[in-house]
Amino acid sequence: MFANFLIGLREGLEAGLVIGILVAYLVKIERRDLLRQLWAGVALAIAGSLAFGALLTFGPNGLTFEAQEVIGGSLSIVAVGLITWMIFWMAATARHLKADLHHKLSDAISAGRWAVLVMALLAVGREGLETALFLWAGAKASQSSSTGPLIGALLGIAAAAALSWAIYRGAVRLDLRKFFAWTGLFLVFVAAGVLAYGVHDLQEAGVLPGLHHLAFDVSAQIPPSSWYGSLLKGVFNFSPQTTWGEFVVWWLYLLITLFFFIRTVWLSPAPARPDAANRGQESAVA
Does 229 reside within a domain?
yes
> What integer is the mean pLDDT of 136-160?
76
Structure confidence at residue 182 (pLDDT) = 86
Give the count of domains, the chain.
Answer: 1
Does 219 reside within a domain?
yes
Domain containing 265 equals: 2-270
Does 141 reside within a domain?
yes
Please return the burial class of 211, using the count of CB atoms within 10 Å of its CB with bins 0-12, 13-18 and 19+.
middle
- Is the separation of the CB atoms in 3 and 152 below 8 Å? yes
Query: Which has more confidence, 275 or 104?
Result: 104
% of the chain at pLDDT higher than 70: 88
Whether the predicted pLDDT of 106 surpasses 70: yes
Does 275 reside within a domain?
no
> What integer is the mean pLDDT of 137-165?
78
Does 284 reside within a domain?
no
Does 277 reside within a domain?
no
Structure confidence at residue 127 (pLDDT) = 84
pLDDT band at 226 (very low <50, low <70, confident <90, very high): confident
Whether the predicted pLDDT of 256 surpasses 50: yes
Does 281 reside within a domain?
no
pLDDT band at 42 (very low <50, low <70, confident <90, very high): very high
φ/ψ of 89, rounded to 5, equals: -60, -45
Does 250 reside within a domain?
yes
Q: What is the pTM of this model?
A: 0.78
